[in-house]
Amino acid sequence: MGDQIPLTQFDPVAQKGPETDPESVGTECEFPINNYAIPAFDNFRHTTIPSVKIDHSLSSAIKISGYFSQTHTVYPTASD
């Protein structure tokens, strides 16, 4: 039989696998990966959240701390 494994040696549970696999995704999705459709969005959001934290010991008993954060969100194709 060459390099083929006889069907009688296949696990019956494994043989059922292909029957239960979901249908493959269509071409309407921009990035189909492993039957998971990642939709092509017309609008996306990019959020940047930079932050700075400073700690300083003035002495063994006196310590100061400061924190600053800013959120910036961009919607390039938003109409609002």
For residue range 22-42, what is the model confidence (pLDDT) as tens digits? Answer: 665 555 555 555 666 666 666
pLDDT above 80 for 69: yes
For residue 9, the Cα-to-chain-centroid distance in whole angstroms is 39
DSSP 9: G
Both structure tokens of 43: 């609008």
Measured between alpha carbons, how far is residue 55 from residues 10, 46, 63, 67 in Å? 65, 30, 7, 9
pLDDT tens-digit profile of 42-67? 667 788 899 999 999 999 999 999 99
For residue 75, the Cα-to-chain-centroid distance in whole angstroms is 20
Reference 50, options 29, 33, 74, 67; nearest CA is: 67
